[in-house]
Structure formats: structure tokens, C-alpha cells
Amino acid sequence: MVKIVIVDDHAMVRSGLRMLLSSNGAIEVAAEAADGDEGIRAALEHRPDVVLMDLNMPQGKDGLTAASELKKLLPDVAILMLSMHDDSAYLFRAIEAGASGYVLKSAPHEELLSAIATVAAGDAYLYPSATKKLMDEFAALAKKGGQDGFEALSDREKEVLTLAAKGYANKEIAEMLFISVKTVETHKSNAMDKLGLKTRPELIQFAMKKGLLQFE
């Protein structure tokens, strides 16, 4: 029996997930939570095998932050991130936060059940199109021949590039580094030009290769 905690800020989504999962004889829904803080408390109380964590929760603690904190408290729990975003940036941020899997909310019920079984068994799960996307992006980066020139960047360019690869918006980076949005844009543009990177997927793959996506 796989014990699960559902964390989502929409009551109707939680209800639908509970009905779906409870109808499966191999799954027990131990608790529900409406935000990251509630999810962490529920997980500590019930010690589930899997936490279904909504990525975007505007009220309270978001899924990425909650996942990172929860993995420190319960290293053995498998976190399956639920998201509406078919986007590499969100995918990588979920992985660096400690998620064992990433499933789109638009996925068929069968895929969700398969993902739960996969992460509960200790393996990682990515939705099918994400796997192909990552392979295509990695192949495109590999064609560059491994010449990256990262060490030639200034310290500030490295900081901006790393935060951009982690999915932070220019305004967020500006606030974090106490510089203007225009300065962020300039540093990011200069760094990507020096590295020969033209798209965000290329940036993310480069950052993975350089080990820049460590979650603090």
C-alpha cells in the first residue's frame, strides 16, 4: 500500500485526486493540505511514501520551497510535482528542489498512477515529452563541442546567468542582487553571447553541465 499526502491549493483538485487515488486498491490517501506549510506538517505527521505537491500555490509556501524543506526533514519521502507548466525551467527547478518526479496536470489518470508507482519504488519519473525534450536539448548543446568559456565571464555575469538558468525572472534577479533590471538584462545578454547560447533550453543544459543548478 502506497501512502500519499496531497498538497494543492484548490479544494476541487484535491477532492478529484482523492477520489481517483482512493479508487485504487494499492493507494491510501493519508491527508490533504492547501499550501506548502500544511503539506510539510501533514507529511511529518503521517510519514507518507509519496507527496503529490502542486508546484504553484500563490497563498502560503509554494511547492518548490516546500519540497526543498521537506526533503531535508524527510529525506526518504518521494515528492511528485504536479504542474501545468510544460517548461524546462520549471522542470529543473523541481528536480533541484528534491522532486523525484514531474507530472503535468493535463496528463491522463493512468499516467499519474504510473508516476506514483514509479517514484514510490524509488525511481525517477518525467512525463514522456519532457524526456524527449531533454534529450534533444542535450544533443544540441553537445554539438557545440564542449567549448563553454564560463571561466571568462565576470563574477556578476556568472551570478546572473546561474539565477536565470534556475528560472528566476529578470526582476527577481535584480532584487536578489540589488541591481537594476536593465543591468540584469545586460549581464545576461553579454554572458550568453560569450558562451554562444541563444535560447533558454541551451542555457539550462549548459548550467546542468557546469553544475550550476544546486538548490540552496
Domain contains 144: yes
The pLDDT of residue 126 is 84
Verdict on whether the full-model pTM lies above 0.75: no
User: 100-128 pLDDT, tens per residue?
Assistant: 999 998 889 999 999 999 999 999 888 87
Who has greater pLDDT, 164 or 209? 164
Dihedral angle, C-alpha 163, 70, 15, 60, nearest 10 °: -60
- The runs of H, that is alpha helices, within 57-166 are 63-73, 88-96, 109-120, 128-142, 155-165
Domain contains 216: no
Domain contains 153: yes
The residue from 75, 104, 126 where one domain ends is: 126
Closest-CA residue to 50 (of 64, 68, 22, 30): 30
The pLDDT of residue 141 is 56
For residue 185, give the CATH number of its domain: 1.10.10.10
The pLDDT of residue 137 is 61
What average pLDDT does the segment 28-53 reach? 96
Residues 42 and 16 in one domain: yes
Domain contains 215: no
Number of independent structural domains in the chain:
2
Residues 54 and 139 in one domain: no
Residues 32 and 138 in one domain: no
* C-alpha distances out from residue 140 to 150, 195, 200, 213, Å: 18, 14, 12, 19
Q: How confident is the model at residue 39 (pLDDT cuts 50, 70, 90)?
A: very high
Residues 30 and 122 in one domain: yes
User: 45-67 pLDDT, tens per residue?
Assistant: 999 999 999 998 877 788 989 99
Residues 37 and 81 in one domain: yes
In 3-state terms the chain splits into helix, strand, coil percentages (rounded to 5) of 55, 15, 30
How would you classify residue 215: left for phi > 0, otherwise alpha for psi between -120 and 50, otherwise beta?
beta
Rounded to the nearest 10 degrees, the angle between the axes of helix 200-210 and helix 88-96 is 20
